[in-house]
Amino acid sequence: MITEAIILAGGLGTRLREAVPDLPKCMAPILAKPFIGYLVDYLQQQGIKNYIFSLGYKSAIVKQYLQSQYGHLSITFNVENEPLGTGGAVKLACKYADEENVFVLNGDSYFNISLNRLALFHRSNKAHCSLSLKPMNDFERYGVVELNDDDSIKSFKEKKYYQHGLINGGVYALQKDIFLNDELPEKFSFEKDYLEKFTGTRSFFGISYDDYFIDIGIPADFERAQTELILNTTFNA
């Protein structure tokens, strides 16, 4: 089992500013509880012992909340002095991880999957990075991930309208040392400059889950979370 998780919670939340003007995106309130609280509750239920939070915009607000509500947990804060992109944030946070493998999650999305299943899949494939994938129908907000017959990543397709396809659910299992040994810049996108760039030359695999998924990055989905999230927090072990 993997017991460490990096949570990327430094986003500005530009598209969500209309609905949540003065807070980091991960602190957007869902029924008066910050979104990140639901994520931490989920991770606790999934057996995570060590939490590494990558923070940026208004980091003090996030730190205060987590310390007051989850002070009993083993938490490390990694605060970026300037935005490093998702890849730069993961790279910096990995230096605080002790295990060979670590989970990486986006702090503004919730995918109610079994992390144990992802860890077993990751280890059985000796993957450098394993992606959680969500089947979707009639969408254009996300790109599509294509798999080979052995579940290795075949390609990433650009954002456009799709009748159906697998999207990146934003939960990863990552071999920390292999990732850190790649010659990656200080600032980069984990998705574009690591996953997409190295597909075909690195051991990347994807596993599909048909569990509840929501990304609160736009006002419409933030509003949807107000009624849906509390109904979808029965955790899958």
pLDDT digits (tens, 9 = 90+) for 125-160: 999 999 999 999 999 999 999 999 999 999 999 999
pTM: 0.94
Q: What is the predicted pLDDT for the residue at 235?
A: 53
Q: What is the predicted pLDDT for the residue at 118?
A: 98
E strand segments, the chain: 4-9, 29-30, 33-34, 50-55, 74-79, 101-106, 109-111, 129-139, 144-147, 153-157, 162-175, 204-208, 213-215
Helices 59-69 and 35-45 cross at an angle (nearest 10°) of: 50
Rounded to 5 degrees, what are φ and ψ at 145?
-105, 125
Q: What is the predicted pLDDT for the residue at 19?
A: 56
Residue 162 C-alpha from the chain's centroid: 23
The low-confidence residues of the chain, meaning pLDDT below 70, are 12-21, 234-237
Q: From CA 223, how far away is CA 190, in angstroms rounded?
A: 28
Q: From CA 121, how far away is CA 128, in angstroms rounded?
A: 12
Q: What is the predicted pLDDT for the residue at 159?
A: 93
pLDDT digits (tens, 9 = 90+) for 53-83: 999 888 999 999 999 999 999 999 999 888 8
Domains, the chain:
4-232 (3.90.550.10)
Q: What is the predicted pLDDT for the residue at 236?
A: 54
